[in-house]
Amino acid sequence: MPSDTVSIPQQLDPKVFFAELTNLDWEDIESVHAVTSRLLTELAGRRALLLSMIDNVSQDPSLFARSESDGVLNKLVLYENSERSFSVRLHTLVSEEYDRPHDHRATFSALILRGSYLHTIYNIPASYAQDDERGQPTLAAEFLKHLKPVVTRREIVGNVYTLHHSAFHSTIADQSHLSLVIRGPSVKERLLFIDERKGNTRWYYGSAFETEQELTAVRMTVETLKTMRDKIVAL
């Protein structure tokens, strides 16, 4: 890690800073947005605290092991409470030609720190089709034909939004994108990606269901962590 690492001042201990998230009702989307948007905005303005949290990741094997780079998203887990009922993350999205509509395993809020992305929300029926013999979803071509966006907007620096885990969305980011995320507890074992162009769908499971080989393949490197830290310093 860089020699100019920042230690966490006692009065800015993340456990204290994020304490009110512990008892938050993550199904109450209005309350979630009110609390998380305030905390994300305050954290973004406390550069010393944010840098100290980034520096702490390299010293915390658990946090570092849960940070991932899968070629689409760099996810740096900055803090996770002991009950794993919420986590704080730093994300960079890798720019793509297009993104696939997908849901999430947990409700989350995101604050755009740098860059922007095109954000689209879709109308998706609440129930999915049954799994096939390989454990993958079978969605008819008729279903995909009726997959329609209902909201499209550009998320820019300073924007905060909260997305319920049942919603489907897609994001197309520019290469400078950087965002802070507060994620609630996982309520599902898997999430669904829908590839409109290829006309297929696929389940993706949480890390608890991945093999050691799969986990190793996406584990974040110290170099990627340093690059993400440098972006915060440059803000």
Q: In Å, what is the CA distance from 22 to each residue of 32, 34, 90, 200, 206? A: 11, 15, 20, 38, 22
Residue written as tokens 């609440």? 126
What is the pLDDT, as a whole number, of residue 100? 84
Does the pLDDT of residue 29 top 80, yes or no? yes
What is the pLDDT, as a whole number, of residue 173? 87
CA dihedral 65, 160, 128, 188 (to 10 degrees): 40
What is the pLDDT, as a whole number, of residue 130? 54
Question: 162: burial class by Cβ within 10 Å (0-12, 13-18, 19+)?
Answer: buried
> pLDDT tens across 166-185, in order?
888 999 888 889 999 999 99
> pLDDT tens across 91-134, in order?
997 756 567 888 899 999 999 999 999 999 987 654 555 555 55
Higher pLDDT, 111 or 149: 111
Token pair in block for residue 220:
């974040």
The residue count for the chain: 235
Residues 6 or more apart whose CB falls under 8 angstroms from that of 45 comprise: none
* Model pTM above 0.75: yes
Contact 215, 79 (CB under 8 A): no
Confidence of residue 6 (pLDDT cuts 50, 70, 90): low
Query: What structural domains and CATH numbers belong to the chain?
Result: 10-234 (2.60.120.10)
Burial 20-42 (b: 16+ CB within 10 A, else e): ebeebebeeeeebbebbbebbee
What is the pLDDT, as a whole number, of residue 1? 46
CA triple 100-28-45, angle to 5 deg: 75
Q: Which of 65, 111, 119 is nearest to 90 (CA)?
A: 111
What is the pLDDT, as a whole number, of residue 183? 97
Helices then strands, each counted (H, E), the chain? 7, 11
Does the pLDDT of residue 42 top 90, yes or no? yes
Does the pLDDT of residue 5 top 70, yes or no? no
> pLDDT tens across 193-228, in order?
888 777 677 888 888 777 788 878 889 999 999 999
Token pair in block for residue 196:
């409109």
Q: What is the average pLDDT value for the chain, to the nearest integer?
A: 85
* Mean pLDDT, residues 54-76 taken together: 91
H-helix or E-strand containing 78?
Answer: strand 73-80
Does the pLDDT of residue 139 top 70, yes or no? no
Contact 149, 155 (CB under 8 A): no
Other Cβ atoms closer than 10 A to 202: 15
